[in-house]
Structure 1
Amino acid sequence: MSRRCELTGKGPMVGNNSSHANNKTKRRYLPNLNDVTLQSETLGRGIKLRITAAALRSVDHRGGLDRFLAKAKDTELSDRVLKVKKEIAKAQAANA
């Protein structure tokens, strides 16, 4: 399982540990990933995702998963979430 957010595409970053003597050693900064189930109002079911805490706040801010995916760029989304986005768009087109 990759350490990458399925909604924002955030992954590990590289930096340095800096000691008191200012010695530098390489380290990795890992994203704060959480396993969550987000409800899709259009599909009427939950979708299990592995996303960062910042992405979860963004989903809440935009008013839910459906609205977040409507504005999200396809390049940032994982393949699994892209399929969900297309399902939602298809269901919304059928209801309208």
Structure 2
Amino acid sequence: MAFRTKELYKNIVRKVGGEEMLGPGVKESLMQCLPKSKVVMGRAKRGLYAGRHIQFGNQISDKGGNKSRRTWKPNVQEKRLFSYIFDRHIRVKVTTHALRCIDKAGGIDEYLLKTPYQKMDTEMGLYWKVKVQKLYEELGEMEVGFSRRRRKPRLSRDSKTLN
């Protein structure tokens, strides 16, 4: 799912019923909410790449200074990340940069919640983000009551100290 702002904007306007239905302030706020135009490489759609993509450049030889065109691909690893909200492991392809971001955020759940929609550039990331948000909202609505177990005192307070 390569994001294209104009296409998304047209789809939303069509669903609303045309640009006439949008007020002047709504149009600007809609454009701000939409992600910036970006093309995402194909395999990045199936993992969490945290903005890393294939880079292009020249490899310059030491002796002659000859330039050879080459690419640098992101360091992708397949990992099992534990999700506390789902209480299970999630198998996902992640870049090493994304792993550092996940560690810094405090786990996969927090990373998905803290990353804004505009920066989430993959379809899989958006899918997991929505699932985690929905579960957190459901847990927030639940009333959870905790009761402490009262311990029985080992020694009674009335007992005299030993000599």
The match for 2:156 is none
State the alpha-carbon separation in 2 of the partners of residues 7 and 29 from structure 1: 14
Q: Is the helix fraction higher in 1 or 2? A: 2
Name the aligned partner's letter for residue 54 of structure 2: P
The match for 2:125 is 81
Which of these residues, 87, 92, 97, is aligned with residue 54 of structure 1? 97
Q: Determine if contact 1:39/1:45 at 8 Å carries over to the other structure.
A: yes
| Larger Rg computed on CA atoms | 2
Percent of aligned positions that are identical: 28
Question: Shift of the alpha carbon at 1:47?
Answer: 1.3
Is structure 2 residue 82 aligned with structure 1 residue 39? yes
Number of residue equivalences? 96
State the alpha-carbon separation in 1 of the partners of residues 48 and 79 from structure 2: 11
Question: Shift of the alpha carbon at 1:43?
Answer: 1.4
Question: Shift of the alpha carbon at 1:92?
Answer: 0.7
Q: Determine if contact 1:3/1:33 at 8 Å carries over to the other structure.
A: no
- Deviations along 1:12-57, whole A, 9 cap, x unmatched? 1001010121111100011110000111111112211111112101
The match for 2:73 is 30
Q: TM-score, normalised by structure 2?
A: 0.54
| Unaligned ranges ≥5, structure 2 | 1-41, 141-163
Q: Which one is further off, 17-26 or 78-87?
A: 78-87
SS in 2 for 1:90: helix
| Unaligned ranges ≥5, structure 1 | none
Q: Please, what is the CA RMSD of the aligned residues?
A: 1.8
Q: Is the strand fraction higher in 1 or 2? A: 1
Q: TM-score, normalised by structure 1?
A: 0.87
CA 1:7 to 1:17, structure 2 compared with 1: closer, same or farther past 3 Å? closer
Question: Shift of the alpha carbon at 1:3?
Answer: 4.5
State the alpha-carbon separation in 1 of the partners of residues 127 and 112 from structure 2: 11
Q: Determine if contact 2:82/2:90 at 8 Å carries over to the other structure.
A: yes
State the alpha-carbon separation in 2 of the partners of residues 93 and 3 from structure 1: 31
Name the aligned partner's letter for residue 14 of structure 1: F
Question: Shift of the alpha carbon at 1:7?
Answer: 4.1
The match for 1:90 is 134
